[in-house]
Amino acid sequence: MWPWFFGGYAVFIAALVGYATHVALSRPDKQHRADAFRVLKLIWGTATGAGGLAAIAIRLHDLGLL
C-alpha cells in the first residue's frame, strides 16, 4: 500500500524542483528569478527536511534496506 505513495511523492517533488529550476534559470526578469530561487529553496528544504527523511526511511525499510 505505501510504496506507490512514496514513488508518487518523489515524482511530484522532482517535477516541482525541475520547474522551479527551469524558471530560476530561464526567466529574463530578475524578480521572477529571485522568486523562483526562493520557491526552489523552500521545496528542497521541505523535501529533504524531517518529513522527507522520514518518508525515505520508511521506503527503505519497506524495501528491506534499512
Share of the chain above pLDDT 70, in %: 88
CA distance 49 to 64: 22
Q: In this structure, is the dihedral angle defined by the CA atoms of residues 36, 41, 42 and 47, taken in order, positive or negative?
A: positive
Give the domain extent around 8.
2-63
Burial (CB count within 10 angstroms: exposed 0-12, middle 13-18, buried 19+), residue 21: middle
Domain total in the chain: 1
Name the average pLDDT for the chain: 79
12: pLDDT strictly greater than 60? yes
pLDDT (tens digit per residue) in 18-43: 888 888 888 888 998 888 888 888 88
Question: CB of 66 within 8 A of CB of 57?
Answer: yes
**Looking at residue 61, what is its pLDDT?**
82
